[in-house]
Structure 1
């Protein structure tokens, strides 16, 4: 609460600029709502992993200066203070910073935590920090592009030898069976049948022919139903092969340009069950290892892989394949995955799979074969 026109102690005089209007509309606006914060906090696999990583490594946090990037409700800043941090700067771009201030004061941590409203790119801190904590991960790890801001914070504020929590991240793809593939295909057919009825009615009742738009409508519906990745909570028994880790990041050393640039990585999916491969599932994990100079004494893994016991709000991104791939045990799907940012909104992603199936009896004993011209290409967006 303000008293005599002055801000509470924990808000300090530090501040940054608000996000620009376009970025606010495309990304930041939803994070200002407590409902959205609640959805993330009640993901106990997520929140519990951060709590364990911080509280089981209190020696790494004791008497240290910590920066929380994209602080949201301030929960990670509070964990850091509970672990013994001397000072915590919680930077949050949206108005949820006001709620974070209330939480900090209510938990009697105002002398330790300063909540700063503004983008990390425009904030200036009075000192360098020993640790950066942040929950920056989006769907399929990179959607939302918040890692950009974490790297800005690292390069601006982290002391030499400092650590990031999490410290490492990995991306995976796996072949799966999916009933949703069939339902989305049926929805696509229904949409096209509905369009045909609509155009007939327009001509019958109003004398207007609209069939010149048939191809445009079909392309639009195909992009939505067949070329847009879907959120799903995949069960482990849907896996038809072993997941493949195709990308790893060390957050202490990865450059901003490596994150911004599109990239292509190879994958090899070994099929272990006779089943039509109806989709690829994409997911990630992050590791809390500290840094070489300040290693975690208790390492924690937060995984979004299919899990029968405890899923996460990230779920998995499912890329439906039309038509499915017929595969047998021992077959291998060999291919490349290309990931880039969408030009019209850099926080969304474009994913292209370029792949072919190699039957077991045709597999060479040596190195991975070069993809042939008969390979298949599937395009997707992550919205």
Structure 2
């Protein structure tokens, strides 16, 4: 090559480069035909058996059959014919070497005899085609259920099904936890008993609606001589077990049944009961409490708590109304106003904050359980709302307060939405949405009438599970002259779904409605 001239560079692709490397390796492999013998250190004239022994040295130690040793070598094409001829000659010279080489074949399982007349011929053929006989699946023997140790007190409630809990949800463990965990009324009763032990010590007490027996245990710890824990739910089975585990069975006696079905051996000095319901009356235990008061309470005895009051307010809860009612106006571009009518026909229970309240609280009911009668468990009175802030009224809000009149220090359990507490409440506030919002101004007065009563017909027993609200509200000027009517609407409170006619009767009669088919 002349001086000063450089070798021309050749650019290769990756594929061309790999092809050249493969050709180079093949040339090197053919140039060393005896390389495999050097690797195994086998000399010329070595038999196949000796080569196999040499191969054993290179293989890892594992269990190898004594009669068969399989050795495979990647021989060059030039040596293949020579090796085969030498191996055949060695086998003829040494007949013992025949036992060292065997042809391995896949074992063929013969199809099993078909003894079952119910098995079809196609199933037998299918099993033969797969190289195995047709085999019936052996059923696993039934695993016996491990024995369950159920306490004697819980045998009855342990057999309850989901259908039973629909009619007796108080016996469900989740309900027991929800009704007690971090609840405001439980801390109220605990504080009330601790601060008034002088009323409980060495007294005979009755705990109505006892649940799991927590209030009965509090009374026994406060020094009561005898406590009768009564409940008509099967939750009393849990109460018996809890009382036994806390070693109070000599003080607390758990009874199952309604007040009208039970008999106590003696009269009691006081009754402790968490009797409150929504709006005080709905789903409350007042009927059971008044029966127990007449049958078993001594003259001069106490009821804890015994004082209660119900309040009414007007509120501008437009966000809550949009979420609960107005959402049905447009559901994925579909008109569902019929469902909005149902949403407006029933009261709702929600956590209300005081920032949207428009009026002051107006007392609509006051109860003294020491003297109240069944005929007084309703509301039918005039109302007057005093406006504090101007705004559009979207709903009416009701809440209640309860207290114990004989407490050593005043203590009140309140559901007032303006009070801030870290505890929960099972009642929250009761919300009555109006169909059309209306403006409330501070210089105007708003008067009307409120009716809250049982749906029982005249002559029937009072029923606190089927009740009805009705509100009529008018705008008045300063001269107390009646202005325009604002609301004339009712709401039903019942444990079942309302019928179409009941929903139609609950609509505001001042608003024109579209006919419903």
TM-score, normalized by length of structure 2? 0.59
Specify which structure has the bigger relative contact order, considering alpha-carbon pairs within 8 angstroms and separated by 6 or more residues. Answer: 1
1:265 aligns with 2:378: no
Separation in structure 1 between the aligned mates of residue 441 and residue 348 of structure 2, nearest angstrom: 25
Match of 2:454 among 341, 355, 364: 341
After the TM superposition, which parts of structure 1 deviate over 4 Å for at least 4 consecutive aligned residues? 191-196, 343-346, 369-373
Superposed, 1:87-236 pairs within 5 Å as 87-178=226-317, 179-190=319-330, 194=334, 218=338, 221-236=339-354
Q: Which residue of 2 aligns with 1:377?
A: 488
Q: Which residue of 2 aligns with 1:325?
A: 438
Match of 2:420 among 308, 311, 320: 308
Counterpart secondary structure, 2:261: coil
Work out whether residues 60 and 296 of structure 1, in 8 Å CA contact, stay in contact via their aligned partners in 2.
no
Work out whether residues 240 and 271 of structure 1, in 8 Å CA contact, stay in contact via their aligned partners in 2.
yes
Q: Which residue of 2 aligns with 1:13?
A: none
Work out whether residues 282 and 316 of structure 1, in 8 Å CA contact, stay in contact via their aligned partners in 2.
yes
Separation in structure 1 between the aligned mates of residue 442 and residue 315 of structure 2, nearest angstrom: 13
Q: Which residue of 2 aligns with 1:248?
A: 366
Q: Which residue of 2 aligns with 1:72?
A: 211
CA displacement, residues 209-264 of structure 1 (integer Å, 9 cap, x when unaligned): xxxxxxxx93xx354211211111000112111111111000000012322xx430
> How much does 1:277 deviate?
1.0
CA displacement, residues 283-334 of structure 1 (integer Å, 9 cap, x when unaligned): 1111112xxxxx3222321001113334522100101112112012233321
Counterpart secondary structure, 2:416: coil
Work out whether residues 67 and 91 of structure 1, in 8 Å CA contact, stay in contact via their aligned partners in 2.
yes
**Structure 2, unpaired ranges of 5+:** 1-151, 154-163, 458-462, 495-517
Counterpart secondary structure, 1:121: helix
Separation in structure 1 between the aligned mates of residue 286 and residue 482 of structure 2, nearest angstrom: 32
Counterpart secondary structure, 2:401: strand
Superposed, 1:53-64 pairs within 5 Å as 53-64=192-203
> How much does 1:74 deviate?
1.0
Separation in structure 1 between the aligned mates of residue 292 and residue 215 of structure 2, nearest angstrom: 16
Q: Which moved more, 1:68-77 or 1:157-166?
A: 68-77
TM-score, normalized by length of structure 1? 0.79
Work out whether residues 233 and 316 of structure 1, in 8 Å CA contact, stay in contact via their aligned partners in 2.
yes
Q: Which residue of 1 aligns with 2:176?
A: 37
Higher strand share: 1
**Structure 1, unpaired ranges of 5+:** 1-6, 9-23, 197-216, 290-294
CA displacement, residues 12-31 of structure 1 (integer Å, 9 cap, x when unaligned): xxxxxxxxxxxx998x6121
Work out whether residues 275 and 286 of structure 2, in 8 Å CA contact, stay in contact via their aligned partners in 1.
yes
Q: Which residue of 2 aligns with 1:274?
A: 390
> How much does 1:373 deviate?
8.0
Match of 1:284 among 373, 380, 400: 400
> How much does 1:376 deviate?
2.7
Work out whether residues 278 and 284 of structure 2, in 8 Å CA contact, stay in contact via their aligned partners in 1.
no
